[in-house]
Amino acid sequence: MAKEIVVIIGGPGSGKTTLLEGLANEGYTCYPEISREVTLEARKKGIEQLFLENPLLFSELLLEGRVKQYNDAVTEDKDIVFIDRGLPDVLAYMHYIGDAYPSSFDEACKKYKYTKIYFLPPWEEIYTADDARYETYEQAVLIADHLQETYRNYGYEIIEVPKDTVDNRILFILGQLS
């Protein structure tokens, strides 16, 4: 079996983190979303919401972290690595806010290619905001649209994961991979 580098995408609050925690509990190698880490590091430096205050810097830090995750996934000794969000997510968010970004962002998305993309659709019943997730549900839906469009623009086939229990979502993904 060839190495599978699988990305789970979706708007804020669609269940990505919970799904990846479930996969990790099943023994799969999973890399977490790094935007919270970037946000917390910025807060330590007195910047409350780096994405809102300096979206380009935030996005550069995310892109750098996601390239590292990709390279780490390539060298993992496991056949399947699941990642919470990929490089095109950075561009999708920049499109969402209407900001420009350097061509190096586009080049990175073309260079580092994932095997499969699973999309968790917006799901109002499970959506919750918190100190790092400031978007409304309506904004989460728009972000989900930008994510799908951006990944498709890079030639990815997007596999939509049904709204269901975590266990059934895991079974759906694993069934698609086998």
Provide the H-helix boundaries in the chain.
16-25, 35-44, 50-53, 55-75, 87-97, 103-111, 137-153, 166-177
pLDDT digits (tens, 9 = 90+) for 18-39: 999 999 999 999 999 998 888 8
- Whole-number Å distance between alpha carbons of 108 and 6: 17
Q: What pLDDT, on a 0 to 100 scale, did the predictor assign at position 155?
A: 98
Model pTM score: 0.91
pLDDT digits (tens, 9 = 90+) for 67-106: 999 999 999 999 999 999 999 999 999 999 999 999 999 9
Confidence of residue 1 (pLDDT cuts 50, 70, 90): low
- Whole-number Å distance between alpha carbons of 105 and 100: 10
